[in-house]
Amino acid sequence: MNQASHTFGQAAGDYAAARPTYPPALFDWLAEIAPRRDRVWDCGTGTGQAAVDLAARFKAVHATDFSAGQIAAAKPAPNVTYAVAPAESSGLPDRWADLITVANALHWFDFGKFWPEVKRVGATDAVFVAWAYNWFFVSNAFDADVTTRVRDLIAPFWAPNNRLNWDGYRDADIRFPFPRISPPAFAIELAWSFRQILAFMQTWSAYRLSRNDAAVSKAMDDLLAEFAKTYRMDEVFQVRMPLVMVAGRI
């Protein structure tokens, strides 16, 4: 079991509740560029944040994740089938999917095994699209006072894989084998309370791992106590998360 599946699997309920959904325009674009609107493989589905929106635009979605805990907490939909399976071995038939998607998970995969699986499962002219968010932005003052201070505390606990996302899924890093499609610029726009912002940061794998370090955990508790004196938990902020994307035709 890799670090991602262990960490996120343990916190699947929190993940499902606190993680944001993606902009509808993203899924409209996916429906436009897919050669057909029949079948989608949503790989690394987590708790199905993308699968349910894909199901509103495609006839069938097969959503897989390595973590049984994530699949157990996934959102149901009539035309979504969930399965526990690694990204590198989906269990799907050859040339099955018109669209293959990966939402916020590509940086955890074994690319030497994953890309051959994508080629095998992709139907004629199928499209592959992966996207992720990394950091969120509120305002210069808020980001400096809250987000940066939390990030600085947990910085040593990020897995090296996360840098692939932070660096924008460069070809040199992920060895992307398909001709690239240029995606539009998408971003998640949210009106979140301070409580929701904290809940989201507490789903970060580095945050959860940092809680195993007594000194860092104490420093985090002190910081959270300071925030409780400075901010109202129901105070609402406008939050923006730009998406990092990689897309290509198989």
- Identify any residues that bridge with 244 across adjacent strands, giving them in sequence order: 132
User: How many angstroms separate the CA atoms of 62 and 42, rounded?
Assistant: 6
Q: What is the pLDDT tens value at each position of the chain, 250 positions in all?
A: 344 544 444 455 555 566 788 999 999 999 999 999 999 999 999 999 999 999 999 999 999 999 999 999 999 999 999 999 999 999 999 999 999 999 999 999 999 999 999 999 999 999 999 999 989 999 999 999 999 999 999 999 999 999 999 999 999 899 999 999 999 999 999 999 999 999 999 999 999 999 999 999 999 999 999 999 999 999 999 999 999 999 999 9
Domains recognised in the chain with CATH numbers: 3-249 (3.40.50.150)
Centroid of chain to Cα 155: 19
Instruction: Report the side by side order of strands in the sheet with 187-193.
Output: 80-84, 60-65, 39-43, 97-103, 122-133, 236-249, 187-193
Listed in order, strand segments (DSSP E) in the chain are: 39-43, 60-65, 80-84, 97-103, 122-133, 187-193, 236-249
**φ, ψ for residue 134, nearest 5 deg:** -125, -75
**Is the torsion defined by CA of 217, 221, 224, 230 positive or negative?**
negative
Record the pTM.
0.88
Which contiguous run of DSSP H or E holds residue 217?
A: helix 214-230
